[in-house]
């Protein structure tokens, strides 16, 4: 009986302690060379921040933040992107699903001399989880969010998960 209780305790402890937080996940994949901006901070911004979506086109077309520019990830083109960004001091917020791919894109902008670049902490998933609107390819509000993959979709708690 005592061994059974110990086994159950160890099993449950493993479940509890194996669940990582979003902060831990991002620390695991990012080097934090770009400062984060929280969803709450971005939502309260009264400035004309430029939003760059660093996901793939199929993800962007399902939903994106209002007025975000699609820049992609796999096919990201720094030269084409910088043509759209005239002021190197203007606030730029890069986002993806959670904040991993967006850090890579933001790093490239920083190396190009952009001084006010942020990574959206938790990406579009956290944006939607905090009840903010997302828009489809017709610029209409939608509940759909491209969930990227089954593995990463666990971080999207609200909205309809779309995979293709």
User: Per-residue pLDDT tens for 49-108?
Assistant: 999 999 999 999 999 999 999 999 999 999 999 999 999 999 999 999 999 999 999 999
Domain boundaries in the chain? 20-162
96: annotated active-site residue: yes
Q: What is the pTM of this model?
A: 0.87
From the list 39, 54, 65, 96, the catalytic residue is: 96
Thinking of the domain 20-162, which architecture would CATH place it in?
Answer: 3-Layer(aba) Sandwich (3.40)
C-alpha 5 chain-centroid distance: 41
């Amino acid at each position: 009986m005592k061994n059974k209780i110990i086994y159950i305790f160890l099993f449950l402890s493993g479940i509890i302690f194996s669940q990582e937080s979003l902060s831990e996940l991002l620390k695991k994949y990012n080097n934090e060379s770009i400062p984060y901006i929280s969803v709450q901070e971005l939502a309260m911004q009264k400035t004309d921040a430029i939003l760059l979506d660093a996901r793939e086109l199929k993800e962007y077309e399902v939903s994106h933040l209002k007025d975000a520019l699609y820049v992609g990830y796999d096919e990201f083109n720094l030269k084409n992107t910088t043509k759209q960004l005239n002021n190197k001091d203007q606030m730029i917020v890069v986002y993806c699903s959670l904040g991993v791919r967006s850090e890579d894109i933001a790093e490239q902008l920083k190396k190009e001399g952009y001084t006010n670049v942020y990574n959206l902490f938790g990406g579009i998933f956290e944006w939607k989880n905090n009840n903010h609107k997302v828009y489809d390819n017709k610029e209409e509000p939608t509940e759909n969010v491209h969930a990227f993959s089954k593995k990463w979709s666990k971080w999207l708690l609200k909205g309809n998960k779309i995979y293709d």
